[in-house]
Amino acid sequence: MNVLLIGDITGAPGRNILKEQLKNIQKQESIGFTIANAENAAGGSGVTENIANELFSYGIDVLTSGDHIWKKKETAEYIAREYRLLRPANYPDIAPGFGCYVFKARTGESIGVINLIGRVFMQAVDCPFRIAKECVEKLRKETSTIFVDIHAEATSEKVAMGWFLDGMVSCVFGTHTHIQTADERLLHKHTAYITDIGMTGPMDSVIGRKKEQILERFLTQMPVKFEMAEADVRIHGAVVEVDLKTGHALSIKRLLT
């Protein structure tokens, strides 16, 4: 099966290009399951119930998230009942929602997805490595095909997670930085890995925001309102081919539209 991974969906520009192009990409790449990071889908920060349902209607099977998941006040109530929108598993257990889950592809196959958040240069949360292992042990009772979104700032932490989970999961992919890396590969024990799958949104920007406003902030260090950019919108991500019998990744390639 080919699994499509979509980088951080950023605001209306990111959503609109998926509405226009996702079905064709899924057809061209023979996609059987689609995972997308949606923590920036609502105006560049957070996600709402209406926006999540909009993204599901385009053909996305699972939405992952990260440090902006709680930016919209209504999200907590929604995520408590919508298992297709994951929050990082290493948030406290008392937090609403699910951090890992086994989903059914439309053709019936079971696919596990784990959402984690890093700790380097980010807020203090539980150990992503320990929680990752606990999630893997839980999900492997139902499936050997497992994908892991590590939403983290530091490349070192993401690479370390890849090696830590090599042979235990099908794929470890990074999100959060909005910059696609060129290090996609199969690790020694058949786990696909890429440090960051990039951003689905406006490339004529600074990670999705109007570049003029970001430059003003850097140059003056004064408070500046950051607005969504709109030009040169693209989809970034990756396509992973996985053997559903073993859970081994067979290939990984970057996606850039």
Give catalytic residues, as residue numbers. 68
Instruction: Report how far residue 110's alpha carbon sits from residue 208's, in angstroms, rounded to the nearest whole number.
Output: 34
DSSP letters spanning 114-171: EEEE--TTS---S-HHHHHHHHHHHHTTT-S-EEEEEE-S-HHHHHHHHHHHBTTBSE
- Integer distance in angstroms from the first to the last C-alpha of the chain? 21
In this structure, what DSSP letter does residue 92 have? -
Cα(18)–Cα(30) distance, integer angstroms = 16
Q: Produce one character per residue of 144-172: b if its CB has 16 or more CB atoms within 10 Å, e if not.
A: bbbbbbbbbbbeebbbbbbebbbebbbbb
Backbone angles phi, psi at 97, to 5 degrees: 95, -175
Structure tokens at 6: 């979509």
CB 205, CB 211: distance < 8 Å: yes
Rounded CA gap, 65 and 85, in Å? 8
